[in-house]
Amino acid sequence: MAADGSNMTHAVIETAVKERNRLHTGRSRITALVVLGFLGAIGLFLALVVGKADANTAPTCDGRTMTRHSECRIWSNHGGGGTYSYDEMIDRRESSHQVWRVVGFGGAALAVVLMAVSATKLDPKRPWGKPVDASCPRCHQPTLREKLTVHSISKGRTTYRYSGIVTLCTPVCGFTSVRQRQR
């Protein structure tokens, strides 16, 4: 760490500048909304397609469609085994459909909540970081803002994390600095 300390200082500042850029162009927000929208769609798919209530279709037993009077023998090492009638097999199927509906609608609802949160949190109009109570040493304006920033690098299976509190002035001024968090 000591040998490449100044490189890492630079990398942490770069990370902060990129993060501010992604926030201000709205790219962070779009990415978050797209990912969450996709997860929400998966939730709806599970709830509406995989978990669709279907009390009238004949159940299957080991891949074969059952008839009204057939029975299904289920072997199980961890409970739930036994012999089931046609109607009992429908109940089994419908209770697993219900689990998918709960999981699917729950996941979709969570995705919607997180979309609302990220739409506000990642609003491009929101400034990056917190204001600093000092004026910029370069342009002498009170425009400095700071934020704890983590830069991580993966080498093989190990991830190295370098963090520091980065202070940035406006992109026009371009002043940057980084300091270590108090331990």
The residue (of 33 and 169) whose beta carbon lies closer to Zn ion is 169
CB of residue 148 vs Zn ion: minimum separation in angstroms? 20
Q: Which is nearer to Zn ion, 140 or 157 (CB)?
A: 140
Shortest separation between residue 169's beta carbon and Zn ion, angstroms: 3
Scanning the chain, the segments in alpha helix (DSSP H) are: 5-24, 27-45, 86-121
Is residue 147 within 8 A of residue 130, CB to CB? The reply is yes
| Residues engaged in binding Zn ion (CB under 5 A) | 136, 138-139, 169, 173, 175
Q: Residue 162: left if φ>0, alpha if ψ -120 to 50, beta else—which one?
A: beta
CB of 138: closest distance to Zn ion in angstroms? Answer: 5
Comparing CB distances to Zn ion, the nearer of 13 and 46 is: 13
Residue for token pair 């609608």:
105
163 near 181, Cβ under 8 Å? Answer: yes
